[in-house]
Amino acid sequence: DVKVTQSSRYLVKRTGEKVFLECVQDMDHENMFWYRQDPGLGLRLIYFSYDVKMKEKGDIPEGYSVSREKKERFSLILESASTNQTSMYLCASRSTGSSYNEQFFGPGTRLTVL
């Protein structure tokens, strides 16, 4: 069964803290994505990775960085968390051979920055 897991369901951090969000997929997918989801704004792409050590900026990369050292793991880093980064963060993965362009999502991490 296809599975994308995220390290935490809920996370509370303080302004200025460095925050790591981890995502692991067990499907041997080449592509991985980080989104944030906010009411009225839908899913917005932060960063994606089309292969190990490869990354590209999405639509809203400011304030974030990513790391993909292994194929199954894609990390999102908030270097210095701010209150406007309070959001739901969703990780997804996809096979380049996917005929349906299907992205498989994790359950999300609800991050609150105080």
For other proteins, the binding residues (CB under 8 A) are: 4, 31, 33, 35, 39-45, 48, 50, 56, 58, 90, 92, 94, 96, 98, 100-103, 105-108
Kindly state the smallest distance separating residue 49's Cβ from other proteins, in Å: 11
Cα angle: 113, vertex 3, 34; to 5 degrees: 40
Q: How far is the CB of 90 from other proteins (least distance, A)?
A: 6
Q: Which is nearer to other proteins, 28 or 100 (CB)?
A: 100
Q: How far is the CB of 85 from other proteins (least distance, A)?
A: 19
Q: 12 vs 41, which CB is nearer to other proteins?
A: 41
Tokens of residue 21, six digits: 């969000």
